[in-house]
A and B are shown apart, each in its own frame.
Chain A
Amino acid sequence: AQTVTQSQPEMSVQEAETVTLSCTYDTSESDYYLFWYKQPPSRQMILVIRQEAYKQQNATENRFSVNFQKAAKSFSLKISDSQLGDAAMYFCAYRSSNYGGSQGNLIFGKGTKLSVKP
């Protein structure tokens, strides 16, 4: 079964600085998708960024980018020019691309709580 591990329960960053959140995963599949979700205090789950495993190019969305290392099964999220509104819980998630054991379900890590200091 696939697993997702976020080893940093909490992180802190100074406003306008850059922070990287770590995520590793375990899978025997070669084709899958990876996601980062943000959960602010409003508790709404918001999709931040998505990566397709068959694409070597790292995904980027404005100030958010990923470092996808397929061989190492690593999928870190980099937030540049951090803003107060970035303070939230961040979840890494994995989704299989086929009818494998996870049936296309999103498998989440336990989350990293990011604080942004003014």
Chain B
Amino acid sequence: EAQVTQNPRYLITVTGKKLTVTCSQNMNHEYMSWYRQDPGLGLRQIYYSMNVEVTDKGDVPEGYKVSRKEKRNFPLILESPSPNQTSLYFCASSRTGLGGYGYTFGSGTRLTVV
């Protein structure tokens, strides 16, 4: 089944403790992206990747890191999480970074930083 797999679905952590949210797609998509969703703000892009080893900042990149060493994986790293990073996070992929392809989304990760 074609899908984007995110883990974990839920995570509670403490301020300053490094964490990684994993994202993997099995569709050979070139483009991958991370979004955070907050009430009243919709989905805002954190980072995106047009292809392997090509990443760039989205609208809200502060406090996050990403890497794209393999085509299928695009982990999101929070080096020192803070309470304002409490949010619902989505990973998404698309066949390419251009054109009318919609995104395929993961199931989301609910992160709470205390």
Which residues of A are interface residues toward B (Cβ below 8 A)?
Answer: 9, 33, 35, 43-45, 47, 50, 52, 91, 95, 97-99, 103-106, 108-111
Contact = CB atoms under 8 A, between A and B. Distances in A.
Interface of B: 31, 33, 35, 40-45, 48, 50, 56, 58, 88, 90, 92, 94, 96-100, 102-103, 105, 107-108
Given A43-B88, A97-B98, A103-B50, A111 B33 contact: no
Given A35-B102, A103-B50, 8 more contacts: A33-B99, A43-B88, A44-B105, A44-B108, A45-B103, A50-B100, A103-B97, A105-B45
Contacts of B94: 104
Contacts of A98: 98
Contacts of B42: 91, 108-111
- Looking at chain B's contact residues, the main secondary structure is strand
B107 A44 contact: yes
A88 to B, nearest CB: 14
Contacts of B45: 105-106
Nearest to B31: A104
A97 B43 contact: no
19 contacts: A9-B40, A43-B88, A47-B102, A50-B102, A52-B100, A91-B42, A95-B100, A104-B94, A104-B97, A104-B99, A105-B97, A106-B43, A106-B103, A108-B35, A108-B42, A108-B43, A108-B44, A109-B42, A111-B42
